[in-house]
Amino acid sequence: MSSASSSTVLAEPPVAAGAFLPYLDRQLSVVPQPGRVRAHIRGERIFVPAGDHRPAVERLYRRLARTEIGRRLDEAVASAGLSYRGLSIRSQRTRWASCSSSGAMSFNWRLLLAPERVLDYVIWHEVCHLEVPNHSPRFWALLERRLPGFREPHAWLRRHGATLVL
């Protein structure tokens, strides 16, 4: 699944104290802490290293993506009576996710910066590719049966996908 604005180059300035980072449907308050090397979430706050903490935040989001996407993907394929070969979490600039012909799934960790309904849409999009490996009318009909109302999160991702950066 490609991003709508793959050629856009975005600057990613460090996030300041008091700022917020999105995590699915939540807004986490950024709390820089001198001496910290790893980021972690506690309640509605994300504790980060002081200074340029983007690498630590990205590592945290990648770990969380493996768990969050893995759980949702497992539920979706079980519901569809299907299986997949493996899951990888990446940092692609031009794709949100992909499903290989062998059933290997790959998802962009930046999906955790989107609303939950968008993440669920991308997961179901890829699960449907396990049955229909193209974007034919048959694929879109299957996606509509599996995730009624998918068009709204699909449109949201096309409109706002380029903003999903730290």
The pLDDT confidence band at residue 9, using thresholds 50, 70 and 90, is very low
pTM for the model: 0.87
- pLDDT tens profile 13-68: 455 667 899 999 999 999 999 999 999 999 999 999 998 899 999 999 999 999 99
Strands in 86-90's sheet, in edge-to-edge order, are: 86-90, 104-108, 97-99
Q: Distance from CA of residue 42 to its chain's centroid?
A: 20
Determine the pLDDT at residue 15.
55
User: Distance (Å, rounded) from C-alpha 71 to C-alpha 50?
Assistant: 32
Strands in 45-49's sheet, in edge-to-edge order, are: 20-23, 26-33, 45-49, 40-42
Determine the pLDDT at residue 13.
47
Tokens of 83: 């299986």
Structural domains in the chain plus CATH codes = 58-163 (3.30.2010.10)
Percentage of the chain lying above the pLDDT 90 cut: 83
Determine the pLDDT at residue 143.
98
Sign of the torsion angle spanned by Cα atoms 19, 157, 107, 90: negative
Average pLDDT over the chain reads: 90
Considering only 2-11, 33-42, 62-71, 119-128, which range has the smallest mean pLDDT? 2-11
The pLDDT confidence band at residue 1, using thresholds 50, 70 and 90, is low
Mean pLDDT of 150-162: 96
User: Distance (Å, rounded) from C-alpha 130 to C-alpha 134?
Assistant: 10
Radius of gyration of the chain (CA): 17
**78-86 LR contacts (CB < 8 Å, sep 24+):** 80/127, 80/130, 80/131, 80/146, 82/127, 82/130, 82/131, 83/130, 84/127, 84/130
